[in-house]
Structure 1
Amino acid sequence: MTDFAFDRQLDGYGLTTAKILYRMPDHPTLLQTYLWQDYDLAPEFPELNRFLAFWRRELEGPLHSVEVAYRRLVAPHEWRRVDGLSLLN
């Protein structure tokens, strides 16, 4: 049985981190930071957009800005076939 996160990486998902700044509902002049991280597909970012839609619909703190960092952890050049195995000892 393989790990769900590893399966997603093989399907082309990369690790996505979003730094979300939002205004405090009771103090709109103050900004609060929220970090979100999940595996997502660039450049559409469906998981992040689903989360932001949930935020707008369910939470009271209005969004100020979102910064996104993305990195594919498993790329095609990182996989190669091994023809043999040598054991020492």
Structure 2
Amino acid sequence: MFAFTSSNKETVNPAAPALVQQWYDFTGDNPADPEDYTLRSPQTEPSCDGEGDMCAVKATAHGSFANKPNLADPSKIIRLED
């Protein structure tokens, strides 16, 4: 006669890596183009905080463009010039 017991094994799913937002300075003509941004170094908050032209954006990294922002990031922060 065989005895069967259930095994209580835990399945461990590694957590998805946290997506970190970084500051990118707007350095081009088209605010909708990730190529028109430069990764800010050092990662300090820009001083612009007005209601004029685009200055900088804080967003996660773009998956296809190195050192460029993901402008579709729903929690991005936009900074405008004074």
Same fold (TM over 0.5): no
TM-score, scaled to structure 1? 0.27
TM-score norm. by structure 2 comes to 0.28
Structure index of larger Rg: 2
**RCO (CA 8 Å, sep 6+): is it higher in 1 or 2?**
1
The structure that is helix-richer by fraction is 1
